Chain A
Amino acid sequence: MEALWIPIAAAVAIAATALATGWAQSKIGASVAATLAEKPELRTTAVLMIAIPETMVVLGFVVAVLILLRAG
């Protein structure tokens, strides 16, 4: 049974964070598009803002890898 739950847990770790990142980026992306239309000089800040939520999926990926590695 454990053999079943380990990959599921890893999948949940990355899927949940990927969804969260996607949701956050959708909100930020819309705002950034509106911002850049008025102030193109903020493009660097815009790129950073878009990239910030990706920390979630990166950490989700790390957790998923750790789950799989610990399971052996």
Chain B
Amino acid sequence: MEMARIRVLGPRALLGATVRALQDRGVVHLVDAAPIDGLRRRDLDLTARRRRRNLGRALADVDRVVSGLDQLGAPVADRTGPPPPEAVMARLAGRLAAEVERLRARERALAEERDALRIYAPLFGALDELVRGSATRQLSIFLLRLRSGAALEPLRGALGRTLGDAFELRSLELASGEAALLLVVPAARAQDIEDQLAEAGVEHAPLPPALATAPLAEAVLRLRPRLDELEREIPAARDAAAALTRTHGDDLARARRGFHDTLLALEACEHAAESARVFVLEGWLPARDRAELARAVAAVGPEIAVEDVARDQWHAEDAPVVLANPAVFAPFEVLTSLLPLPKYGTVDPTPFVAVMFPMLFGVVVGDVGYGAAIAAIAVALRLAGRPPYGLAKIASAVALYTIVFGLLYGELFGDLGTMWFGMRPLWFDRRDAVLGFLVLALALGLVHLILGLVIAAASRWRRHRREALGRGLTAVMLVLVALALLALWKRVPEGILTPTVVALLVALPIVIVLEGATALLDFMTILGHVMSYARVMALGTASVMLAIVANRMHGAFGSAAIGIAFALVFHLVNFAITLFSPTIHVMRLHYVEFFGTFFEPGGGPYRPLRHWSPGATG
């Protein structure tokens, strides 16, 4: 997108209002104002620094409260509107931060205690039964822990030898592999058993802190009531958090926005240069927003002026980059933005990625069944309505190409379509025409890289004409190589072989003159990159073969049901590989091979001064 560099000038007293106006528009990416005679970089005075520090602390408290309430299941809904007074809100936020922290600590402790007690819950029934059935006897109860369940039977044997049948032992295997034991013995033998257990190295099971200080027999009997208490206390802590959200949620949400905005504005003011009377701000914005911004700033006061910085006074390397593509291509900016942004004024590769990425994916996978499965995922992503929203659109495009090439190859879950519905390829069968598939892959690579070289030539024509000619001639040489190979294979008249080779020999030194001695190496690299597209065939062949192997599963086992189950699992595995591997390789073909022909990284991100919102990165 075309960017404009602007300078905003005005009376120093109106700097704050001007920055607020810029923030309201949200389109200016501010940079440090260039030094002008008589102006110096603005330094915040003591009052402003103190205000910023206090605001920062208050905002940290507000964020802590909001985050804590969210974790307590009482999220604060976002609100817009005038924020509460800073001093009042700062005090309130400090108090609420302490309150929420206390609630969180309590909820955490209660939940930990509940989780610890729940481990013993399966023993509660046995405990009731033992106590009820022996109500008239004097009993001692032990809650024990064994490191391994294997030690249980030896322990039972030892107890039997000591106590005969005058004991009850119930066990519970824990998820950790340990075993919890409930042992009830006559009170008269309790000390004896205690000593024996200690000698055998059997530990008492750890009890929650609230019960740890009580006598063991009493503590064990209080386990169930305590668990019931906890089940009531935890919601009570969450109810308290919900009450805080109801009472202070609006203030917190508006304060969060307001404090963030104020801090952003204070930071923006530091980009200004100023004298005793005037200020200057400089920044970038999309050229199309220039007129509207001027109108918005003029509303601050007639003294505010917006002027353009002449194009010859700034460098393309300094301009931030905005990727602006039509809606059909825009989702693919996700893939482009995984690499550094293109330098300002160079080509945004997104539209080419939007066309070639799904197409190459489709060429690799090329299966109606897998394409339909990807389409189902795309629909699910769309219905889920969660970001990143573009992913559903990318998946839709990929699914479409996969289905189209599936029809061309005649594949539906491998050869299942052929076996069940008599499906026939509309173009060629990948299982038989391996060599033809390889030629298709290399031809696609050739076209892709020639496209890249043509893009490079066109985009550099104005700036580096010599380099543009070199790129263009390299593209011609690739075409000549392709023609020479076709002549050798007798796909075109053999008579053109000699002129093609002669033209290549003439073009090579010209390219070296245009692009330097490395041009030869560069040309060989590009030829190697064409060969790299062989992976399209390799992955595609592997994909279809795996699908065919999956289809053969149902006949490979004695039982049809087991065979079908194995086939489904194998298809699922192949589908997972299909989602991952071709994506990585097609991305690599773009990033390394295709982008290598024309892409010029180095653009800076566009970060306009705007109002803060939840989820914003700055």
Interface residues of A in 36-72 (CB under 8 A from B): 44, 47-48, 51-52, 54-55, 58-59, 61-62, 65-66, 69
11 pairs from A and B in contact (CB 8 Å cutoff): A44-B591, A51-B585, A51-B588, A55-B535, A58-B534, A58-B539, A61-B541, A61-B542, A62-B538, A65-B438, A69-B434
Nearest to B528 among chain A residues (CB) is A55
Q: State whether the Cβ of B339 lies closer than 8 Å to any Cβ in chain A.
A: yes
- Once the chains bind, are A59 and B534 in contact (CB under 8 Å)? yes
Cross-chain contact of A51 among B338, B438, B584 (Cβ < 8 A): B584
Cross-chain contact of A44 among B339, B434, B541 (Cβ < 8 A): B339
Interface residues of B in 564-603 (CB under 8 A from A): 584-585, 587-588, 591-592
**With A55-B532, A59-B531 in contact, is A47–B587 under 8 Å at CB?**
yes
Contact surface of B with A, Cβ cutoff 8 Å: 338-339, 434-435, 438, 531-532, 534-535, 537-539, 541-542, 584-585, 587-588, 591-592
How many angstroms from the CA of A55 to the CA of B584 in the assembled complex? Answer: 13
Nearest to B536 among chain A residues (CB) is A58
Q: Could you mark each residue 23-47 of chain A with 1 if its beta carbon is under 8 Å from any beta carbon of chain B, else 0?
A: 0000000000000000000001001
Given contacts A62-B538, A65-B434, 14 further A-B contacts (CB under 8 A): A47-B588, A48-B588, A48-B592, A52-B592, A54-B535, A55-B532, A55-B535, A58-B535, A58-B539, A62-B438, A62-B534, A62-B537, A65-B438, A65-B541
A-B contact count (CB 8 A): 40
- Once the chains bind, are A44 and B338 in contact (CB under 8 Å)? yes
- With a CB–CB cut-off of 8 A, which chain A residues contact B592? 48, 52
How many angstroms from the CA of A51 to the CA of B585 in the assembled complex? Answer: 7
Nearest to B535 among chain A residues (CB) is A58
Q: How far is the CB of B244 from the nearest CB of chain A, in Å? A: 35
- With a CB–CB cut-off of 8 A, which chain A residues contact B585? 51, 54
How many angstroms from the CA of A54 to the CA of B167 in the assembled complex? Answer: 67
Q: How far is the CB of A62 from the nearest CB of chain B, in Å? A: 5
How many angstroms from the CA of A44 to the CA of B335 in the assembled complex? Answer: 10
- With a CB–CB cut-off of 8 A, which chain B residues contact A69? 434-435
Q: How far is the CB of B53 from the nearest CB of chain A, in Å? A: 30
How many angstroms from the CA of A59 to the CA of B534 in the assembled complex? Answer: 7
How many angstroms from the CA of A47 to the CA of B434 in the assembled complex? Answer: 28
How many angstroms from the CA of A68 to the CA of B606 in the assembled complex? Answer: 54
How many angstroms from the CA of A54 to the CA of B438 in the assembled complex? Answer: 17
7 nearest A-B residue pairs (beta carbon): A44-B338, A58-B535, A51-B588, A61-B538, A58-B538, A62-B534, A51-B584
Q: How far is the CB of A55 from the nearest CB of chain B, in Å? A: 6
How many angstroms from the CA of A52 to the CA of B541 in the assembled complex? Answer: 20
Interface core residue of A54, A61, A62, A66 (most chain B CB under 10 Å):
A62
Q: How far is the CB of A48 from the nearest CB of chain B, in Å? A: 6
How many angstroms from the CA of A25 to the CA of B386 in the assembled complex? Answer: 35
Interface residues of A in 5-29 (CB under 8 A from B): none
- Once the chains bind, are B584 and A47 in contact (CB under 8 Å)? yes
How many angstroms from the CA of A29 to the CA of B158 in the assembled complex? Answer: 54
How many angstroms from the CA of A49 to the CA of B587 in the assembled complex? Answer: 12
